[in-house]
A and B are shown apart, each in its own frame.
Chain A
């Protein structure tokens, strides 16, 4: 920190991102609540642990290699440049002295954490789809794969200001319709194809049955909390304040600005308008199309935000509302069509709300922002329908579906993907519940004995 202005800017930026981390923690709390609520009571504690252990596993792997990957592969490598094109990745190896208490670098840990919380979210999206029949050991391999490898590659390619997809395709995805949501939805679908539906999900004629959540109220409050954490997600995707000189691109003059992650100008005002209007559009359509079902109304709000997110740095609020509504309608219809046609049991609609809505949002963004510069730097492709469509394919299918489909196939072949049939029928919490009756009976006898001692019973 060279002078007071530098110091204030640094401290403000540190605190800004630090606050986003605390807010984004709520996304994970929300995911746990809605996933546990959506499960049947006989599986609830196992479901909670399956999601909760994402936190330590993705955190340590993010430290060991995830953060390095983000800085190492934006150019492919081999597409627009080599490994570590900016020279930053060398500073983010787990043995670098910047990855610890260092008085010459006060912000790397905060950036690291903000991206880590994105990683938890990516892994957590997959978690909900596969509840009640996946082995925890298998799921945690997918959590590391998505949370610390595949989503990071897509972020380097399509979110990093020097990513090859931004340079070559003009790919634009300001608040991660594809970078987080489409890839995680695609990953969930890849696992579900091999995992298969829960027992009883389809009748003998192949018609889907509704497996009711054990606590619908918890599901909805969980989704409410995800909305709350989404505020942190949105602001974490921005650079809060930066000068044209620091950006070093084509912007002239001395007006400091907030920017997207691509260093293209936007405002906190814009993303506040658009976050809320796309949420509103999604909720209105979710309520309408589901005839007032609480789960799909809340999920619709989420799908609305996710659909509009790619372009919410620039959209008009009414555009954000309409885009959110369109994405929610299509995601809802696709969920039930895929379920019936392909017998895919997506327990919480994660593939639809995140995957389909994210994919659709990228495509819409390509049309709505057609011709807008994707970067402040010279020589980058502008935003286009084909650039964002190719980007959506890469996110959902290439980096989302394919790696998880392959790994799920291998684990299935090793009999490590799905829980034994007897355990699924009895419920995953059966292990914890053994002995519960005996413990309760013992406690009851002790209480009765004490009541007799007190003369309260004969």
Chain B
């Protein structure tokens, strides 16, 4: 028995439908996929907020704002 349900190509192709592996787990795969997608947004928003907070702190502590603006505006 294979994971695809196909054990041999001695078949009439007109009788064959899905051939991807682990048929029957589609609903579970969908749930996993949707959870991963939503979790990614949650992680990304937290990551972005944290990055902005860190950068703002650096702008205040290590660099003068004037120096940073001049430097950033001199980029090509």
What is the interface of chain A, defined by CB distance below 8 A to chain B?
40-42, 57, 60-61, 63-64, 94-97, 99-105, 135-137, 140-141, 214, 416, 419-420, 422-423, 425-427, 429-431, 433-434
B10 in the interface (beta carbon within 8 A): no
The listed residue (A103, A214, A422) touching B56 by CB distance below 8 A is A422
How close is A359's CB to chain B, nearest CB, in angstroms?
31
Number of interface residues of B (CB under 8 A): 34
A100 vs B45: C-alpha distance in the bound complex, in angstroms? 32
Instruction: Determine if B76 and A41 form an interchain contact, defined as CB atoms under 8 angstroms apart.
Output: yes
What residue in chain B is nearest A93 (Cβ atoms)?
A: B30
Instruction: Determine if A94 and B17 form an interchain contact, defined as CB atoms under 8 angstroms apart.
Output: no
How close is B20's CB to chain A, nearest CB, in angstroms?
4
Residues of chain A with a CB closer than 8 A to B68's CB: 426, 430
The listed residue (A64, A103, A426, A431) touching B30 by CB distance below 8 A is A64
Residue-wise, chain B 60-71 has the 8 Å CB interface mask toward A (1 for contact) of 100001001101
What residue in chain A is nearest B40 (Cβ atoms)?
A: A57
How close is A429's CB to chain B, nearest CB, in angstroms?
7
B13 in the interface (beta carbon within 8 A): yes
Instruction: Determine if A103 and B19 form an interchain contact, defined as CB atoms under 8 angstroms apart.
Output: yes
B39 in the interface (beta carbon within 8 A): no
What is the interface of chain B, defined by CB distance below 8 A to chain A?
13, 16-20, 23, 26-27, 29-30, 33-34, 37, 41, 44-45, 48, 51-52, 54-56, 58-60, 65, 68-69, 71-73, 75-76
What residue in chain B is nearest A427 (Cβ atoms)?
A: B72
Instruction: Determine if A137 and B26 form an interchain contact, defined as CB atoms under 8 angstroms apart.
Output: no
**Beyond A100-B26, A102-B18, A136-B48, 10 extra complex contacts between A and B, CB < 8 Å:** A42-B72, A42-B73, A42-B75, A97-B17, A100-B18, A100-B20, A140-B44, A419-B52, A420-B52, A434-B58
Instruction: Determine if B33 and A103 form an interchain contact, defined as CB atoms under 8 angstroms apart.
Output: no
Instruction: Determine if B26 and A103 form an interchain contact, defined as CB atoms under 8 angstroms apart.
Output: no
What residue in chain B is nearest A141 (Cβ atoms)?
A: B41
A40 vs B27: C-alpha distance in the bound complex, in angstroms? 45
Instruction: Determine if B26 and A96 form an interchain contact, defined as CB atoms under 8 angstroms apart.
Output: yes
A433 vs B74: C-alpha distance in the bound complex, in angstroms? 12
Instruction: Determine if A422 and B44 form an interchain contact, defined as CB atoms under 8 angstroms apart.
Output: no
Residues of chain A with a CB closer than 8 A to B41's CB: 137, 140-141
What residue in chain A is nearest B59 (Cβ atoms)?
A: A422
A100 vs B4: C-alpha distance in the bound complex, in angstroms? 12
A416 vs B45: C-alpha distance in the bound complex, in angstroms? 8
Residues of chain A with a CB closer than 8 A to B33's CB: 60, 63-64, 94
- With A141-B41, A429-B72, A431-B51 already in contact, the answer to whether A97 and B18 are too (CB < 8 A) is yes
Residues of chain A with a CB closer than 8 A to B44's CB: 136-137, 140
Instruction: Determine if A95 and B73 form an interchain contact, defined as CB atoms under 8 angstroms apart.
Output: no
The listed residue (B19, B26, B56, B76) touching A423 by CB distance below 8 A is B56
How close is A56's CB to chain B, nearest CB, in angstroms?
9
Residues of chain B with a CB closer than 8 A to A419's CB: 52
Return 13 A-B CB contacts under 8 Å, by A number: A41-B73, A95-B30, A97-B23, A103-B13, A103-B19, A135-B45, A137-B45, A140-B44, A423-B56, A427-B72, A427-B73, A431-B54, A434-B55
The listed residue (A61, A95, A423, A430) touching B37 by CB distance below 8 A is A61
Residues of chain A with a CB closer than 8 A to B45's CB: 135, 137, 416
A141 vs B75: C-alpha distance in the bound complex, in angstroms? 30
How close is B63's CB to chain A, nearest CB, in angstroms?
8
Instruction: Determine if A64 and B19 form an interchain contact, defined as CB atoms under 8 angstroms apart.
Output: no
Residues of chain A with a CB closer than 8 A to B20's CB: 100-102
How close is B19's CB to chain A, nearest CB, in angstroms?
5
How close is A158's CB to chain B, nearest CB, in angstroms?
28
Instruction: Determine if B16 and A64 form an interchain contact, defined as CB atoms under 8 angstroms apart.
Output: no
A64 vs B18: C-alpha distance in the bound complex, in angstroms? 19
What residue in chain B is nearest A414 (Cβ atoms)?
A: B45
A15 vs B3: C-alpha distance in the bound complex, in angstroms? 29
What residue in chain A is nearest B37 (Cβ atoms)?
A: A60
Instruction: Determine if B72 and A433 form an interchain contact, defined as CB atoms under 8 angstroms apart.
Output: yes
A431 vs B1: C-alpha distance in the bound complex, in angstroms? 53
What are the 10 closest A-B residue pairs judged by CB atoms, nearest first? A95-B26, A42-B72, A41-B75, A137-B45, A427-B72, A97-B18, A100-B20, A94-B30, A103-B16, A104-B17
A97 vs B24: C-alpha distance in the bound complex, in angstroms? 9
Residues of chain B with a CB closer than 8 A to A140's CB: 41, 44
How close is A368's CB to chain B, nearest CB, in angstroms?
43
How close is A417's CB to chain B, nearest CB, in angstroms?
12
What residue in chain B is nearest A105 (Cβ atoms)?
A: B17
